[in-house]
Amino acid sequence: MTKKERAAQAVAILKERYPEAICSLVYDKEKPYELVIATRLSAQCTDARVNIVTKELFARYDSLEAFANADLAEVEEIVKPCGFFRMKAKDTIGMCQAMLSRFDGKVPDTIEELITLPGVGRKTANLIVGDIYHKPSIVTDTHCIRICGRLGLTTGITEPKKVEDALRPILDPVESGDFCHRLVLFGRDVCTARAPKCEECPLKPICKEGPAPKKTKKPSARAKIKPEEA
Ligand code: SF4
């Protein structure tokens, strides 16, 4: 089976298991910049914690302008539970200022433009072009890197950009964004980092790192002797 065929099977199997491929970060669809902020805050933090923090943050600052003019210390205080709060607060204000000054108050729609915003890397940029603009995207977060490696789609590669480059030619661009969302759900449920539940895994038949077939135990010399011969 080629990598492309294996990828197509993984896409189909996870699509069936998780029909809803939604981003777990909560944001207002009318305010797409909120997803850029939430994704920045999610680095080294759980989506659940980010959602608690952004509830307060987005209520306190309800527009791009409000964020651009926000008091740094105040934003730091609110985003503190997400960790790395000084840098995250600075990036939050900086990215909103940049969207206002360089992009006419809009969220850019290309990866190349998005990564010019403070604190925005390829992971965030891919998420935005996929979720906001419905363009092909590949979000190489920890789940994507781990599971695609185990499946043998990106063998031996862990650097996010290289994983993205390896997946792009083998994933259906129409499905790639949703597939990455489903990998997050699957990575939490089944193919966890420390204890993958291979025995109950729907991807087991196509997985390169699934459990090896059980070896039949060689009978010992003693076991070969029929009871009546002993
Ligand atoms: Fe992960 Fe195991 Fe499933 Fe492979 S068989 S995808 S390692 S849970």
Q: Give distance in angstroms: CA of 182 to centre of ligand 1.
A: 14
- Counting from 1 in the atom list of ligand 1, the atom nearest the Cα of 210 is 5
* List of domains in the chain: 3-21+138-206 (1.10.1670.10), 33-131 (1.10.340.30)
Full-model pTM: 0.84
For residue 136 the two structure tokens come to 């092909």
In tens, the pLDDT along 46-76 reads 999 999 999 999 999 999 999 999 999 999 9
For residue 220, is pLDDT > 60?
no
How buried is residue 99: exposed, middle or buried, by Cβ count under 10 Å (0-12/13-18/19+)? buried
The pLDDT, as a whole number, for residue 22 is 83
pLDDT band at 225 (very low <50, low <70, confident <90, very high): very low
Q: Which residues sit in the known binding site? A: 191, 198, 201, 207
Question: Ligand 1 pocket test: which of 190, 194, 200 has the largest number of ligand atoms within 8 Å of its C-beta?
Answer: 190
Please give the mean pLDDT across all residues of the chain: 91
Within 13 A of 43's CA, how many CA atoms are on the CB side? 17
For residue 230, is pLDDT > 60?
no
The pLDDT, as a whole number, for residue 211 is 64
DSSP helix/strand/coil, 55: helix
